[in-house]
Structures are given as C-alpha cells and as structure tokens.
Structure 1
Amino acid sequence: MRKNILLVAGYEYKHGRTNMALLCKKRANAILHKHNSWQNDSNVSFTLFDVKNGAIERGALNNGNIQWNVVSSNFDAINRSIHYTSDDKFIQQQTNVLSITDVYQHIQEIGKNHPNTIRELSIVGHGWRGGPVLVNSYERSAYKHTGSIPRLRDPWDKDGRKKDTNVTNMNTSEWRNFKNAFHNQAHIWVWGCASSRIYKTVINKVLLSSEFRRKRYGSHNNDDTFTLSFSNQFANTYFEKDTLFFFRSRNNQTISERRFTRTLREIKDFLIRGLCHTYAAQMAYNTKIKVYAALPGTGADYDRETHSRRRVMVVPTSSQVYGYSYASIIRFYKTYIETQEDTENKGYALFNPQQIRIWKRG
C-alpha cells in the first residue's frame, strides 16, 4: 500500500540563509529511521514543497536511502528584491510563489486518486499560533477578520490560516478529497513557533504570584485565586484580545484595572480559548487528525541534540543547551490543562481532535 509523506519547506525570510528544504529532508530521514520496516519499501514516497526555490521534489527509496529529484519547477523562486520590503514583509501582490493552498490542492488530488495514503504532513518554517508562516505574507484588509469578506482566503496570501478548512475555502468535493487523503493513523506536524506573548505573560504572572507559590505545584484547585498585575503597554496591546479574561465582559472595551484577581478556572478557560483558536486546533477539529504543534506562548528553535542527519526543530526545554527554555510554560499546560506532549519528545503538544471538540463544546 502506498505511503505518502508530504514535507513543506517555508522560506527563512528573516535572514534567508537557513535551508528549510534541507530540514525537511532531514525529517524524511528521521521518519525512515523511525519506521525501519520502510527502508526498502517501494511504496514509500516523499514529496517536498520547496517555497524558496519554487520547486516540488519527489523522494524515492534506493537501497535504504532517499533519492530526491525535482518533478516540478512551475513556481517562482523567492527573489528578495521583488517579493520583500526592507523590513522582511512579503509584498502584497499577485505572485507565482508556492502557497499553502498549492499543498492543499496536492492533498486533494491524493485523496481523489490514492485515498488513505498520507501518513504525515510536516510544515517546517516560521509560525505563530494562527498558522505556519511560509513567506510572511499578510492579508489585505477585506480578508482580515474585521474586513468585508473575512472567511475567504486572500488569493495573494501564501501562509497558513485558521480559516483554510472552512467551507468557504474548500467546497464539498475538495473537502471530501482532502480528508480522504489521510491514513487513519496519519498526523500533521507544524514545526514553527506559537510564541504569543499574551499567554506566556499570563502563565508567568501566575507562577510568580504569592498565591501560587503558597501551595504545592499541582495542588491548586479551580476556586483558588491569583492576583495579576500588568503594565500599561501590555494592557493597551493585549487586553482587547480576550475581553472575557481581562475585562470579564465583551461589552467593556476600555482599559479598566491592570491589577486584578482571577480564579484558576478563569485562567484555564483563557488558555483553552487560546488553544482552540490556533491553526493546529482548527485543523485537528475539522480533519479529526492528530496535530503536533507548539503551545501558545512557546517558540521553536533548530534542533541541536538529535543526530545531525535527522535534526529538524524543537521547542527548547533546556537552558543549558539553548540558552532559554519553555519548560515552565509546558509544565503549566500539562499540569493544569492536561495537555499531552508529542510522541518524539520535541517539546511540542498533541492537539487531539477529541479533546479540542470537548473544549469547543465546553
């Protein structure tokens, strides 16, 4: 039976030097290392979408090694003088640069012609909780959540969005083919960051509060209260992002008190809303496929510990190795939200479709 692995290499727009396509190929090596029985299986096929070079490569097994060949050069390679502003933003214009939607179309073709064969979709590159960042493109105003057509994708946009799997962006047959493409044991990896400051700050404020430190870690109950205090700058930037937590009312749109108490239940609900409003959660919820991605408030870095041929990215949990760590953020989520870690101990979290469904109904 066919085994399709899809790898998407975003563009390192900040510096332009990191070869994301090479990281994808290392991920292919890691998959092959994990599935030893696949070493000489002619049914195993890797497909790499290389945004930087505008190419699609196919990897086939040859004596236990992956042999890569370009099968399409129909897209434009990234040209910084044409595609980017001086501050690393993808220029809003119509281009022939590879888009996440091109990946989706390929998945739909697989679902139509070779259903139930995708074992993994890995998206390697920058990211935020709203989705993987392939080129750092921005939606035009009409397509933003405050615009006139917010549910539609901007056709000039190349990055992943939470709304990608909505009915407005995939019709019934496209959606059926997309879902049918994945094997029942398939999973999706979103390797980039989700380092939203709002979630990291709130968790750290709770951890540093006198009320939290007064009790043993993990022994707090939902009725326990914690005093939180925020700066003017933070309040002006972030309070409107979740009015239920910061204002306790959707109708109160003014900056009220910057120092207040919240129960653990309210803090957990705030974090669960953040989890549910991620690209990873939305993809898991709609497809019913397990998704591994960074937790809101955590970032990703390039792996420094795995064998060099199999290194991709990790969420750092060792200050000794990376100079910083998200271990305390991850521990809080695991202890009080009961999130699960990824199966490869890379610091990412499992976005379980059943759990997301429970939270959304919550």
Structure 2
Amino acid sequence: MTARITLPTPGGGVAPLTLREPTAWHRPSGPPASRITYAAAHVVADPYADNSPGAPARLDWDATLAVRHDLWSWGLGVAEAMDTAQRGMGLDWAATRELVRRSAAEAAACGGRIVAGAATDQLTRVPDTLDEVVAAYAEQVAFVQRCGATAVVMASRHLAALATGAEDYLRVYERVLREAGAPVVLHWLGDMFDPALAGYWGSTDLDAATDTFVALTHAHADAVDGVKVSLLDAAREVRLRELLPPTVKVYTGDDYHYPELIEGDGKRHSHALLGAFAAIAPAASAALLRLDANDPAGFRTILDATVPLSRHLFAPPTPYYKTGIAFLCWLNGGQPGFTMVGGLHGGRGVGHLVEAFRLADAAGLLRDPDLAARRMRAYLDVAGVAG
C-alpha cells in the first residue's frame, strides 16, 4: 500500500502527500570507470552520549561505519573526516583520529576507496608562528597516510587567522607538500561553508586567490593528486580546470552544479568529492553508470533530478547542510535516531527538514517510504507540528 503522510505547510496549514513507490536502484559491481567519485560521509552520534555543544564527540561506531559501507556498496569512495563529518562543528581531534583509523581499516578490508581530511584542529588556539601551523598539518597528514588513506589537506582556520598575505599561505603549504609522503588533495573551502576562511590564499579577491592557488599547484604538481574546490561557482571551477597542470585532477565540491561539472565540456571534466553524494548515493551511482555507458543524456536525467534536494540541503546558512544529511540518513534507516554531535541536529528548522523530506521523495531517494513516513511523523510529533 502506498505510504501517505500529512505535512505542515509554510503558511501554517497542512497538506497530504502520497509518497512515491521506492525506486529500484541497483547496486553496481564496482566503482564507476569514467570518473573518480567520493561521498563526504557524516558521523552518527552515540545517542546515549552528552551531545550538547562543546561536549567531547562520542560516536555510534557501528552505525557510523555502516554508513561508509553503504556508500562503498554504491561504488562510491568515502571522503572521511571532512567538513561533512563536522570537523570544526563538533568532531574533535581525538574522535577524528579514531574515525580515520577505523574507516581506513574498513576500506582496506572491503576494497573501498578512501581519502581523509588532514587539518590543524588539534591546536587549541591561534598559534604564534607559521611553524606551528606546519607542524600541526604535518602531524595529521602523516597520521592519515599511515592509516592507508590519501590525505586531503583541508583549509585551516588557524592559518587564516595568522596569515598576513599570500606569501604566508605559500610558505606553509610548500613545506607541507615537501614533507608529505605521498601525493595529497588540496581543499579550497569557500567562506560560505566556513566564514572563518574568508580571504583564504591571502585575498578576498577570488581572482588573486586563484592565482596563488594555481601557482602553488604548478610548483608542486608531483605532490598534488588533485584539488577539491568548494566555492559554489561553476564558472570559476571550469576556468580552474584550464589553469591547473594536466596531471592534477579537479574534484568538484560544488553541491549546486555538480551534474554539468562532472559531465564536462568535451575537453575537461571534474571528478567528485561531494557532501551531496552522501544524501543521493543510489542516484549518483546509477547516473555514473550511465556515463560509463556513454549515455550522457541518461546521466543528466538521473542526476539533474537530485539537484533541487542538494540545493535545498546546502542553502544558507550552508554550514548546517550536515543536519539535513543526517536527517535523511535517519529517515532511510541508516541510524537509530536523529541525534548529532555538538547538538547540530538543531541546526535546521522544521520547515527546512519537511521540505528535504518532500524533495527526497520526489527524487526517489526514500528507500523505504513506509519507514520514512513513520519517522517523519515521530519527528513532527516531537516538534509539536504534527499534521
């Protein structure tokens, strides 16, 4: 029997919704061949822990690792310990170390692809010198690589607070790249994701910042596997693909324009490292199989249908997109409760999450509509806005 639910509407009323029959997504036999793709995975909080803001992060390890195995089963790689996993928003360095260690071991056991974030968040204050930033980066890069994952050198709030210009960024990153034991991915995260990163690469002028970023990559191309660009600016990413050395991959982090960026323009394309893929994994997998089959129209038909959901999840204030991803995971049975470390389950309002539910249904991404409807009713009961 088709699942039905009554949902609140923006004007204070209610409206019925008949959910779609579940889409018969098929798990692939392996990862896509035409593009390298990573889904940035969220973490599942221990529901018995003190998940208030500022409390040490305690994870439900079974559920957290099951999320990763689900992503691998769809042929996607896992981007571990990135901003989707609440780096800087509840996930402390002690929990991050254990997360990377466990996930890398699981990836090795099942043959899954994995990269993991290396930052400077073990520092408890803005350091006095750039040497301290370099040392913090070096510690985390070395740890990630010892665990068997490719390191993603994430943007550093500490460096952003300390640097006085582009030269300081170049000085730090050049040392980190020289000391890295294997090629890394460089991550440029825009200030829409983290306001503390405004002016990264030494300038609020994005053209000037791009010049610095490109110069660094050309000077150390042998140490850079690729770059992950999260600026939500498709034209800038296309231009960056033209400016970078041909050996350096571009992993799109644009959760608004990923279909066209991954498809490419016939000359160049982006690979993917996306938080959105954690929410749309079955559709992303199916779309990439169409691209492998030289069916770009089929690829776009599937993936374009997910864009309204992704744009909604990543709407301003963008840092709270993690809340919607965890909510959808709960609706789909991927975690026992809707609880997040640092209290981030309160990061979005009822209206936002109701619309996420509607859009996930429209995209065929509610895997068990009956379960999703039951859980949505329970959420609305707690919120005091039951239909």
Q: Do the two structures share a fold, i.e. TM-score over 0.5?
A: no
* TM-score scaled by length of structure 2: 0.33
Higher helix proportion (structure 1 or 2): 2
**Structure with greater contact order relative to length (CA < 8 Å, sep ≥ 6):** 2
